[in-house]
Amino acid sequence: MGNETHLIYEIKRELDWAAEEVERTDKEVMQLEQKFNTSIETADDEDRKRLFAEKQHLIERIGLHDAFSLQKRAAWRFYMICKVYEIASDKKSANDIRDQLSKFMYRSMDGEAQNADQKDKLLELAEALMTYFNDGHSDEADEAIREAWQNIEQTLRELGRD
């Protein structure tokens, strides 16, 4: 299996891209700050107000806040998928994995998902992970994990946890 197609690598590339976006937008903000600081040195009070408003508008347009939000989301996804693999790597049964995933992903103290649909999706992911670890790291196993993971992510988004 090629590493570039693995779900973890895909999510890691997303995190790397988001970090690059933060770096890029941060550089734009720093350039804007330098230009602003030069302009304000000779400005009167009225020009300072105008320049400050213009600077705020340009900072918003650059999108640094949005870039940080993208990075935070990508980091969270990367953490989640790594933890999922960690949980699955040392468990003996799909039910054991499902219970641990439920505690982690749904924050359920008793290890139970909130409804049958969530339990089914967790079991689907647990079984795909078991196949991945027990039967080899094949493209088919990764694809099964990818599909199950997408279902879990959808459920989490519906709960407001993305």
**Is 101 found in the same domain as 39?**
no
Q: Is residue 147 part of a domain?
A: yes
pLDDT value at residue 42: 85
Cα separation of 123 and 55, whole Å?
A: 51
**Is 118 found in the same domain as 71?**
no
Q: Is residue 116 part of a domain?
A: yes
Residue 79 — pLDDT band, cuts 50, 70, 90? Answer: very high
What would the pLDDT profile of 63-75 be if each residue is shown by its tens digit?
Answer: 888 999 999 999 9
**Is 2 found in the same domain as 61?**
yes
How many domains does one find in the chain? 2
**Is 107 found in the same domain as 66?**
no
Which of 44, 77, 110 delimits the end of a domain? 77
Please state the pTM of the whole predicted model. 0.77
Phi-psi region of 63 (alpha: psi -120 to 50; beta: other; left: phi over 0): left
pLDDT value at residue 104: 87
Residue-number span of the structural domain to which 111 is assigned: 90-162
Residue 62 — pLDDT band, cuts 50, 70, 90? Answer: confident
Q: Is residue 82 part of a domain?
A: no
Average pLDDT on 91-114 reads 78
Q: Is residue 18 part of a domain?
A: yes
Neighbours of 68 (CB within 10 A): 15
Instruction: Round the average pLDDT of the chain to a whole number and report it.
Output: 86
